[in-house]
Amino acid sequence: MVAGPYHEIRDPIHGFIKLDSHERRALDSPSVQRLRHIHQLAMSYLIYPGATHMRFEHSLGVMELAGRVYDVVTAEYNLHESIASFVRQIPADERSYWRKVLRMAALCHDIGHLPFSHAAEIELLPNDWNHEKITARLVLSDSMKEIWECMRPPLNPKDVAKIAVGPEKMRDESFSDWEALLSEIISGEAFGVDRMDYLLRDSHHAGVAYGRFDHHRLIETMRILPADQDSDAPTLGIEEGGIHAAEALLLARYFMFMQVYYHRVRIAYDLHLEEFLRDWLPNGQFPTEENELQRLTDNEILQVIYQAASDPSAPGHVHASRISKRRHFRPVYTTNPADRKNHDDPLTTIFSACVEEYGEDSVRKREHTQLDPAAAFPVTDSRGNVSSSETVSDLLGSIPLANVGVVLMDPSQVSDARRWLDADKDDILVASGNGG
């Protein structure tokens, strides 16, 4: 069923993105429109001036790619014989329904993000909260339920929430194989369209080439395949002709983490932002109540930061000044393969030595590691045989997890600390007994 006229939105990554009038209502909802004011890459625009893009356009891109992937993997001529009955058991009208659910789940998958996205969420939410839980609550809110029920066909709000958040984050809900597959289209470890869009979009706006890969080829070769030889459970895989596009995606992710997401100055700004918010927020935590959350965006936080920077009596004044006046902590030590090979924990050892030498107020450490390694996925050849990507690609198994550990210090002491470490670092590591 066509739901009225279509609306077109021009996007720098995907060209024209189309929505019908019912989908436009979801786009115009306060929860989605709020994403116009949440930076995709937190304060990375202070390092990469072009990286001012917002989660709003990313969400549109994820919706667009989700629809494209769905159309490819459910097309009759693309069904692998071992899994065809799994798709065919879904009647045509239900497939149309689930396509709409998938697109709306993709559009809303990030609406629970707090100001500046991931920069301070983990540390500043109650222990049992995360942005996915907030997303589910907003999707199921009364205001959003009204939108889902007015769609044609009407959407079950729980279906949208489950596909948006996925089984890993909604463990209290049972997921059918079909629902798990649709959620995988959005957030799958190998080919999730969330990942595809943020790599392409972040690379474009940051002005770097690391995140580019042939997503057109990748999507056109994606298929629903059995997860492995011993299981009929369906999952996303690819035809053998798309293996190099898959390799490029996972390499792009590694390089983007190392060069952009884990940039040492980005880490410093995240640190100061977190410390400011801890001082400024009531009880040092973000609210989780829907109406309170809806009023908080990057705009409100930036306004408070600039006010606090000029008022020594304001909560978080020191941290606000470091952000607004670019007096951020500078790196004095970054972990490297040689130190990690020869010492058990060089980051903590160097950090402790710097604290002893310069005082704890002047020194911080941060370590970031990708939590999810490159996942194996099924690959089908021209004869329909299915095997694991680990047996098809030599490269995929050798992509390391991005890891950056850094010791940061007050800029007034950085020059002296670097000279000191240049002269004494090896002795500090040896004296600590921190041998490999």
Q: Where are the domains of the chain?
A: 6-265, 329-377+395-436
Q: What is the DSSP string of 117-141?
A: GGGTTTTTS-TT--HHHHHHHHHTS
Q: What is the pLDDT of residue 1?
A: 41
Cβ atoms of 104 and 160 closer than 8 Å: yes
Q: What is the pLDDT of residue 274?
A: 94
Cβ atoms of 433 and 351 closer than 8 Å: no
Which of 3.60.60.10, 3.40.50.300, 3.30.70.1370, 3.90.79.10 is the CATH number of 329-377+395-436? Answer: 3.30.70.1370
Q: What is the pLDDT of residue 371?
A: 76
Q: Produce one character per residue of 275-311: b if its CB has 16 or more CB atoms within 10 Å, e if not.
A: bbbbbbbeeeebbbebeebbebbbeebbebbeebbee
Cβ atoms of 331 and 366 closer than 8 Å: no
Q: Which residues in the chain show pLDDT less than 70?
A: 1-4, 433-436
Q: What is the pLDDT of residues 162-192, one digit of tens each?
A: 999 999 889 889 999 999 999 999 999 888 9
N residues, the chain:
436
What is the CB neighbour count within 10 angstroms for residue 85? 10
Q: What is the pLDDT of residue 121?
A: 74
Q: What is the pLDDT of residues 75-93, one digit of tens each?
A: 999 999 989 999 999 998 8
Cα within 13 Å of Cα(366), Cβ side: 21
Q: pTM score, two decimals?
A: 0.95
Q: What is the pLDDT of residue 67?
A: 98
Q: What is the pLDDT of residue 232?
A: 74
For CA atoms 382, 386, 388, 391, give the dihedral sign: negative
Fold of 6-265: Hypothetical protein af1432 (1.10.3210)
Residues near 131 by beta carbon (within 8 Å), at least 6 away in sequence: 110, 112, 113, 114, 121, 125
Q: What is the DSSP string of 352-412?
A: HHHHHHH-GGGEEEEEEE-SSPPPP-EEE-TTS-EEEHHHH-TTGGGPPPPEEEEEEE-HH
